[in-house]
Structure 1
Amino acid sequence: MLPLDGANRKVTVFGDDHAYDTASIVKVDILAAVLLQAQGAGRTATAQERAYAQPMIQHSDNAAANTLWRQIGRAPGLDSANKRLGLTGTKGGPGNKWGLTRTTASDQIRLLAAVFGSGGTPATASGVLAKESRAYVQTLMSSVERGQSWGISAAGGSSWAVKNGWLQRDATGLWDINSIGLFTVNGHRCLMAVLSDRSTSMSEGVKLVESVARATARSALAN
């Protein structure tokens, strides 16, 4: 978790900061890569790119993600963008399996700082995304469909922006459940990433993630 204002602007990590499969939270990273590539070409996102980006974030549309994953150059393209964004523990998934991208909670905070922040902490390159690009991602994450607004939004507050991921593993039947985003409480904007695996059901995983989000917010904001 990272408060974006106030005196305590430092990342707080609870638990082991090891790598998890992203599932659909990687769609924010894919969009960041699309926007960085567009900026590198001296342009903004095209109408076609936006036509894929909107359902990918707001409705977690996998077909749209497939298209943009191929466009950015799959894992090598994602890894290149992440290097610019200051992510150090994220590795793009094999082939077309973007959902098997591996990441850490601290890297997801770096990504969120690149989207929602305005300075260089904690990501050394959080200013790489142009103001217009950041605003576009923020707008999409603030308007996900109602059924996908669970997760870090449970931390409370007056507003939130979120992207969630969920994936049932074929080999075990267990679930990866993740949630990243921003919430605002008592006028303070905070970034949060909650990653989990091995839940016996999606509903159990969602309850776990929301419980961790609430507990983390209480602990961090009390200090």
Structure 2
Amino acid sequence: MRGKWMAWLGSAVAAGCAVGCAAGCGAGKAPVVPAAVEAPVKVARCVLKFRDIRAGNAARARLERDIAQYVRGRPGRIVYGALDLVTGVRLGHGEHEHDMITASGAKVDILAALLAGRDSRLDEGERDLASRMIRESDNRAADVLWSRVGGGGAMSDFYRRIGLKETTPGPSKYWGGTNTSPADRIRLLKVLVKGGKGLTAGDRGTVLGLMERVQKDQAWGVSAAARPGDRVALKNGWTPRPFIHHTWAVTSYGRVVGPERDLLLSVQTDRQPGEGTGIQTIEGIARMIGHRLDDLSPTRTRPCPTNPIA
């Protein structure tokens, strides 16, 4: 009887230990499980963001005054135009003067007209010519493609079609004698960026892509408006004017795009004492516009009203 009792007691103790193992049987005190604590709820702070028109107008007046003062201290004739597609800010001085020679700046026009007239179909040789014409500013390539476009008559038709009212193609085979205005350079850039007017997305990508990859020694000019990390697509023009007191015409136009910015900018000069002087003037204006563009469309924040509905 005693043996049965001991066997029963042993089995009962073993069963109890088995049941209690989850609570730490044989391993000291059972861990204390804390009560669930809810994470604090983050409440978004409500703020209103609005354009500070007064501060923007004041900044614009200061910038225009500073550019005018800078231009007065530079030689020759200087005109410019600017449009930021993000904010709608426009700037300009003499932007509708349309007797400014564009020189190699007309090479973008030639390629755009060729693409529009060919339904984007260029053969391998023409693609090579286009690349050399834009990236290297190769004049012989421009001569060939000007002829294939159809010369000045065809270019006049192209300008009418895309809405360039202040651009006149150079006479005969002299594409470099094309006259234009900063306003029309901005219009051309806007067509290349926004589309329409017979140019497909592929056409526009081709032209802007080549303008983004011009040779380093030709990347001067409106690129001075760029911040670190901005992308620049541009085309420059420069030519001596032996019959105008042995001066130079120097021009630059292009697109500078980055966070909160899509700036189209054209600066044209003539009657410059040298190419370097024209480049210096263009970059001085571009740098002022690029570095102070954000000041022209400042924003302010204000807490939302606590009880907007009375």
Is the shorter-chain TM-score for this pair beyond 0.5, marking a shared fold? yes
Aligned-residue CA RMSD in angstroms?
1.5
Mapped partners of 1:190, 1:219: distance in 2? 12
Q: Which of 85, 93, 105 is the matching residue for 1:4?
A: 85
Contact residue 95 and residue 183 of structure 2 kept, 8 A: no
Deviation at 1:188, TM superposition (A): 1.2
Mapped partners of 1:215, 1:115: distance in 2? 25
Mapped partners of 1:4, 1:201: distance in 2? 33
Q: Which of 81, 92, 102 is the matching residue for 1:13?
A: 92
Q: Which of 89, 99, 112 is the matching residue for 2:166?
A: 89
* Counterpart residue number, 1:154: 224
Mapped partners of 1:220, 1:130: distance in 2? 30
* Counterpart residue number, 1:121: none
User: Structure 1: which 5+ residue stretches go unaligned?
Assistant: 119-125
Mapped partners of 1:196, 1:205: distance in 2? 6
Mapped partners of 2:294, 2:106: distance in 1? 27
Matched residue of 1:95: which SS? coil
* Counterpart residue number, 2:32: none
Mapped partners of 1:11, 1:130: distance in 2? 26
Matched residue of 2:283: which SS? helix
Q: Deviations over 1:173-208 (max 9, x none)?
A: 111000011112444111111111011011111000
* Counterpart residue number, 1:29: 109
Whether 1:212 aligns to 2:292 is no
TM-score (normalised: structure 2): 0.65
Mapped partners of 1:76, 1:127: distance in 2? 18
* Counterpart residue number, 1:72: 149
* Counterpart residue number, 1:163: 235
User: Structure 2: which 5+ residue stretches go unaligned?
Assistant: 1-81, 297-310
Mapped partners of 1:16, 1:89: distance in 2? 10
Matched residue of 1:211: which SS? helix
Give the fraction of aligned pairs with identical amino acids, expressed as a percent: 34
TM-score (normalised: structure 1): 0.89
Q: Which has the larger radius of gyration?
A: 2
Look up the equivalent residue of 2:208 and give its one-letter code.
Answer: Q
Alignment of 1:39-50 (within 5 A): 39=119, 43-50=120-127
Matched residue of 2:92: which SS? coil
Contact residue 12 and residue 220 of structure 1 kept, 8 A: no
Count how many residue pairs are aligned between Structure 1 and Structure 2.
211
Whether 1:114 aligns to 2:181 is no
Mapped partners of 1:111, 1:156: distance in 2? 20
Structure 1 residues 138, 202: closer, same or farther in 2, change over 3 A? same
Deviation at 1:219, TM superposition (A): 5.1
Deviation at 1:53, TM superposition (A): 0.4
Which consecutive aligned stretches of 4+ in structure 1 deviate over 6 angstroms post-superposition? none
Structure 1 residues 141, 16: closer, same or farther in 2, change over 3 A? closer
Contact residue 104 and residue 176 of structure 2 kept, 8 A: yes
Mapped partners of 2:152, 2:293: distance in 1? 34
Segment of structure 1 superposing worse, 9-18 or 175-184: 9-18
Look up the equivalent residue of 2:85 and give its one-letter code.
Answer: L
* Counterpart residue number, 1:122: none
Q: Which of 104, 112, 135 is the matching residue for 1:58?
A: 135
Deviation at 1:217, TM superposition (A): 3.0
